[in-house]
Structure 1
Amino acid sequence: MATRVITGAGSGIGAAVAHRLHARGEELLLLARDAGRAEELAAEYPGARTLVGDLAEPEKLAEAISRQGLPERADSLVHSAGVVELGSVGDLSTATWRRQLDVNLVAPAELTRLLLPSLRAARGQVVFINSGAGLSASPEWGGYAASKHGLKALADSLRAEERAAGVRVTTVYPGRTRTSMQAEVHRQEGKEYDPARWMAPDSVATAVLTALDLPRDAEIHDVTVRPGT
């Protein structure tokens, strides 16, 4: 049975991935920001294990996780958690920059570092749920796009570094998806949110599972998923 570590399993794309893997009977290890959230995830995914660690404080992840223990083997690590705060470069505060960089970039780097021994032992796979903003930056999206461009660089470097250890690395770049984050983005943009216009999280989850299930003689580096017409 494969062991799958997932962040952001409480909603959106992360939840869609977690539900699909849980339905297949795979062992889930879900990161929660606090004990209350961990209880909610344990109830939603019976049999899953939880780890408590706040991605907004990446410098504390190593100590928090060392007290709870990591699996000896991890077949995959799916980074799905993230935050977005729009605003012009002229208006974004230092705190806003740091919050997005910490959650979207520094925390995934640190969590990957902590799990690398387990991933190497299983010849596992790291999947980064990035964004179209990880490939291009629009007005008002500078802070978020910077964090996602950095996430692309992290994935590309990691892939080259860990190839000899048999660790695969995939980045998924979704377009706008029907999630609570997308509703929040529309609120920040001052636009009406019509979820019917956008992709279902399960559609992106299908791309993730395709990458995870690919035979070992191949590897998906990057995949872009966009809403259909």
Structure 2
Amino acid sequence: MAGMATHLITGAGSGIGAAVARRLHERGDELVLVARDAGRAKEFAARYPGARTLVADLAEPDRISWALGHQTLPDRIDSLLHSAGIVDLGPVGELTPKTWRHQLNVNLIAPAELTRLFLPQLRVARGHVVFVNSGAGLNAHAEWGAYAASKHGLKALADSLRHEEHAAGVRVTSVYPGRTASPMQAKVHAQEGKEYDPERWIDPESVATTILTALDLPRDAEINDLTVRPGR
């Protein structure tokens, strides 16, 4: 992406999203960061000087359109980076509809809704949509049913979008990181009753590097699916 590109990012508060936001900010690109509330938006504005913020709660996808309708939206978006996500483990025999819905809302329906709302800008810019998926988007293990279902769904969303928007010049990339050292991973370990050692897992910076590679690829090519596994 030559010149100043504008990136709309969810999940910039921690993990992979934070690593990507910091790298793009350091190189002088424009950031539009989605924050769940005004307090979080103030944190983002302080952490990334010059970045714009939009307040929308991804846990309530039905309200995103209304929330954004009361804020000034960017005219141009070169990339939409979906890196927000939540995880709640549990066996199918114990997962409640509330737990299913919460993960589906944040991990799948909210990205679908944000994509719908910003597609006009993405088409104009011949932009790029990046979905930070998960190894669980390709394989579902015991106790990962609801999370994996949301991430399998995210793969379907990305694949459909890619076919639909290819003629408009919109690129679509899914990234499937293995376990990454992040607050989410610490929570997963707590739920699994295991000790958390960040050294064993992928550094979010390494995943950020793969995402920037996809974004910066010349227009003659598109990375569709990118699987990133722990190297140690």
Superposed pair shares fold, TM > 0.5: yes
Task: Give me the whole-angstrom Cα distance separating, in 1, the residues matched to 2:74 and 2:44.
Answer: 18
- Residues 113-159 of structure 1 show CA distances to partners (whole Å, capped at 9, x for unaligned) of 00000100100000000000000000000000000000000000000
The amino acid of 1:68's aligned partner reads Q
| Aligned equivalent of 2:8 | 5
Q: Report matched runs for 1:106-117 at 5 Å.
A: 106-117=109-120
Residue 214 of structure 2: which of 211, 215, 219 is its match? Answer: 211
Residue 73 of structure 1: which of 70, 73, 76 is its match? Answer: 76
Listed as ranges, the gaps of 5+ residues in structure 2 are none
Residue 122 of structure 2 corresponds to residue 130 of structure 1? no
Residue 122 of structure 2 corresponds to residue 100 of structure 1? no
Tell me, what secondary structure is at the counterpart of 1:119?
helix
Listed as ranges, the gaps of 5+ residues in structure 1 are none
The amino acid of 2:145's aligned partner reads G
Residue 156 of structure 1: which of 159, 165, 174 is its match? Answer: 159
Task: Give me the whole-angstrom Cα distance separating, in 1, the residues matched to 2:72 and 2:168.
Answer: 22
Contact 1:72 1:121 in 2 (8 A): no
Residue 53 of structure 1: which of 37, 51, 56 is its match? Answer: 56
| Aligned equivalent of 1:172 | 175
TM-score where L is the length of structure 2: 0.98
Tell me, what secondary structure is at the counterpart of 1:192?
coil
- Aligned residues with identical type, % of pairs: 74
Tell me, what secondary structure is at the counterpart of 1:216?
coil
| Aligned equivalent of 1:187 | 190
Contact 1:58 1:110 in 2 (8 A): yes
Offset at 1:73? 1.4
Task: Give me the whole-angstrom Cα distance separating, in 2, the residues matched to 1:18 and 1:206.
Answer: 11
TM-score where L is the length of structure 1: 0.99
Residue 42 of structure 2 corresponds to residue 19 of structure 1? no
The amino acid of 1:26's aligned partner reads D
Offset at 1:69? 2.6
> Which 4+ stretches in 1 moved above 2 angstroms?
none
- Residues 165-202 of structure 1 show CA distances to partners (whole Å, capped at 9, x for unaligned) of 10000000000111000000000001000111011000
Task: Give me the whole-angstrom Cα distance separating, in 1, the residues matched to 2:74 and 2:162.
Answer: 22
Contact 1:53 1:61 in 2 (8 A): yes
How large is the Cα RMSD of the aligned pairs? 0.5
Residue 79 of structure 2 corresponds to residue 82 of structure 1? no
Offset at 1:225? 0.3
